[in-house]
Amino acid sequence: MISIRDRAAIAPRPVRSAGSLDAAPAPMHHSPMDDVFEHNRAAWNRQARSGNCRWSEPVDAASIAAARRGDWQVILTPNRPVPRHWFGELGGARVLCLASGGGQQAPLLAAAGASVVSFDAADAQLARDAEVAAREGLDVATVRGDMADLGCFRDATFDLVFHPVSNVFTADVMPVWHECRRVLRNGGRLLAGFMNPDYYLFDHDALERGAAPVATFELPFADTTHLGEERLEARIAHGDPLEFSHSLDAQIGGQITAGFVIAGFYEDRWDPAATPLDRFMPTSMATLARC
C-alpha cells in the first residue's frame, strides 16, 4: 500500500479509502452539481457491483506478473494502448490515477514500478483497485472524491496524472485541468482521454434502435438540459450516469490555459458493431501534456 513518504504528501483533511463503502461522504456546500456528482457516484457504484461493467473487471494475476517483467499496456480510451514513451520513467514515479478506478490501470502501473494513488468518486471502483493491490502486494492507495477538487493533495505531489475518459461526468472541465496542473511537479505529465465532442450531436438512444446517424443536439450537450424532462427522469430512475460534452477548446485549449503544453495526441474508436457511430468517425481521443 502507499508508503509513509507518500502519505506525507496528502494534506490532513480527512479522506476515505475504498474499504468503507457505506460511510457517509464529508459534508459539502450543496449545489445542483452536487446532485449530479452524487447521482453519478451511485450509478458507478451500481455498475461496478453488477459484475457486468467492462471498466470494473480487475486485472488478473498473469497481467500483473507480466507488468512486473516490463510487459504491460493500459488504455485512456476504449481500445488503443497508450504509447509507452508517454509515461517516461515509471520506476519510483508518483502517479495519480484520476477517475480511473476499477482494478485495471492503477494496479498495472503499480506493478510496472510506480507508487500509485487511485482517486475516484465511486467506492466500488476504488474497491476493485484495493482488491488487486492487496492480492498482489502493490503500492496503491485509494482516495474517494471529486475529480474537480484535489484539495486533499499538496501542490507538486505527483510526477504523472493518468486520467482516462471520465470528464464527461462533470459539467465544467476547467477545474479538473487546473487541479491536475497544481498537483503535478514542474516537468510532470498529464495523460488524458476524452470523448470527441461531435459524439454528442447524435441521439444515441435512437442509434441503438437502428436509426441512421442524424445530428440532433446542439453542442455543448448536457443530459440535464438536452434530453427533456421525461427522458431525463427515466435516465435518472434507471441509474444511468449523466453526461456532459466539452468542446475541443475546453479539452485541449483548457489544458493549455491551465499551464500545459500538448506533446502527444491520438484518436480511437469503440467497436463499430456495438456503437454504430464508430463506423463514421473516431469517437474518443487522448493527449499527452507536459508542464
Using 50, 70 and 90 to split pLDDT, how confident is the model at 31? Answer: very low
pLDDT digits (tens, 9 = 90+) for 204-256: 888 888 888 888 899 999 999 999 999 999 999 999 999 999 999 999 999 99
Q: Which of 13-27, 77-91, 141-155 has the lowest mean pLDDT?
A: 13-27
Q: Enter the pTM of the model.
A: 0.88
Assess whether pLDDT exceeds 50 at residue 15: no
Q: Which of 101-110, 152-161, 225-234 has the lowest mean pLDDT?
A: 225-234
pLDDT of residue 33: 57
246: closest CA among 206, 279, 288, 199? Answer: 199
Assess whether pLDDT exceeds 80 at residue 34: no
Assess whether pLDDT exceeds 50 at residue 105: yes
117: closest CA among 134, 136, 135, 101? Answer: 101
Angle at 196 between CA 255 and CA 96, to 5 degrees: 45
Separation of alpha carbons 226 and 24, rounded Å: 31
pLDDT of residue 251: 98
pLDDT of residue 160: 98
pLDDT of residue 4: 24
What phi-psi label fits residue 210: left (phi over 0), alpha (psi between -120 and 50 degrees) or beta? left
Q: What are phi and psi of 110, to 5 degrees?
A: -65, -40
Using 50, 70 and 90 to split pLDDT, how confident is the model at 8? Answer: very low
pLDDT digits (tens, 9 = 90+) for 176-194: 999 999 999 999 999 999 9
- Read off the pLDDT of each residue in 259-269 and give the average, rounded to a whole number: 98
Strand 184-195 with 284-290, pairing? antiparallel
